[in-house]
Structure 1
Amino acid sequence: MAAPIELLWAFIGLILTIGGTLVEASITSPPWSWDTSGIQAYPLGVSCQIGAVLLASCLGGRNAGVLSQIAYLALGLAGFPVFTQGGGIGYIREPMFGYLLGFVPGAWICGLLAFKAPPRLEALTFSCLCGLLTIHLAGLVYLIFGYLFSWVNTSVPLLKAVLMYSYNPLPEQLALTCAVTVIAFTIRHLMFY
């Protein structure tokens, strides 16, 4: 049975993941140029979804992270349009569904490692990177088996799909991981744990 605080963090993680799906990650212009041209935002080309998964796990731990992602998958597969391109049971045939499945073990790994040591930047960075790697590995395995057994809907070759879903967004997701690490570090120190 999950503790009430874990359920609260799981709910927060679910809300963050749904909201992160809708929000595009951006960076700002450097602070030294703010006075001349103002603050300008530059889109990274990825949503904040993976960042939300990692943040929820860094703050709530492995159980809250896993619960939030199971709830997210259940909502999406039940037909609620919480995934990037909608929802419904047919989404399992989408090539990116493996990455969504990877949210569960990714959240578990990230949450486990985030609470193994005191909340230091390097420890939280390591936990987030391990979570991100787990998500990508699950997505790649799903893609490969989906192509081998022809259950994914796609008209592009496997190599192009790997580039499209793993390789191309990785630099932006790494930047997002850096931001998540700093946010998690700050919040964990403000909350005194």
Structure 2
Amino acid sequence: MRDMTNLVLTRAALGRETTVARSAALAVAGSLLIALCAKIQVPMWPVPVTMQTFAVLLIGLAYGSRLGTATVALYLAQGAVGLPVFAAGGGIAYLAGPTAGYLLGYLPAVALVGWLAERGWSRPAGTVFLAMLLGSAVIYLCGAGWLSVLVGPEKAVTLGVVPFLLGDVVKAALAAALLPVAWRLLSRF
């Protein structure tokens, strides 16, 4: 079996041995990055797009499946207890309202993208782009699935998927441009 340890960016940057303290620090830093990106709104039509999903999926590509999932779980827990980490605040209501499926969809999405990263998908731009799109699809599946219970399937797709497709393609392209550069910089140092 091939050695996968250097295929995840954080392991390559920080070394093979990841201590509990280092993992905890990375999880906290990652959850803060997601919270910050949730507040960044990119004006697009018909609705603004946040960079929250970009951060979630990028963390999966950089951290791998286990640490990425733990980081997103920490982020969701922070929001559930009321910290204002979500796009419009915090509190348990966010995990039961119309956006609940999207937020909870971050967990399987980051796990999938992290798993792909552990198999080398975080290096070439094409696979980074595809991994980001696959992660977005998982988020849409969970989010629109939950939203369809509230508003029906047609409205869920019309309101909860279609307006965000272009933004997710742009985010995937941005990640595809950034990660190969990060790997090249890392190899120089």
Q: TM-score, normalised by structure 1?
A: 0.77
Query: Aligned residue for 2:146?
Result: 142
- CA RMSD, Structure 1 to Structure 2 (Å): 2.1
Query: Aligned residue for 2:38?
Result: 21
The offset of 1:157, in angstroms, is 5.4
Equivalences, count: 166
The offset of 1:110, in angstroms, is 0.8
Query: Aligned residue for 2:59?
Result: 56
Identity of aligned residues (%): 28
Gaps of 5+ in 1: 26-42, 148-155
Task: Give the structure with the higher percent helix.
Answer: 2
Aligned-partner Cα distance in 1 for 2:153–2:78: 28
- Contact 1:59–1:188 (Cα < 8 Å) also in 2: no
- Contact 2:109–2:138 (Cα < 8 Å) also in 1: yes
Superposed, 1:152-163 pairs within 5 Å as: 158-163=153-158
Aligned-partner Cα distance in 1 for 2:184–2:25: 19
Superposed, 1:87-166 pairs within 5 Å as: 87-117=90-120, 119-144=123-148, 146-147=149-150, 158-166=153-161
Aligned-partner Cα distance in 1 for 2:117–2:38: 23
- SS of the counterpart of 2:140? helix
Superposed, 1:34-45 pairs within 5 Å as: 43-44=43-44, 45=48
- SS of the counterpart of 2:49? strand
Is residue 182 of structure 1 aligned with residue 177 of structure 2?
Answer: yes
Q: Deviations over 1:26-63 (max 9, x none)?
A: xxxxxxxxxxxxxxxxx332011111111111111112
Aligned-partner Cα distance in 2 for 1:157–1:61: 35
- Contact 1:6–1:63 (Cα < 8 Å) also in 2: no
The offset of 1:7, in angstroms, is 3.5
Query: Aligned residue for 2:75?
Result: 72
- SS of the counterpart of 2:167? helix
| The structure with more radius of gyration | 1
Q: TM-score, normalised by structure 2?
A: 0.79
| Counterpart AA for 1:55 | L
**Runs of 4 or more above 3 Å deviation:** 2-9
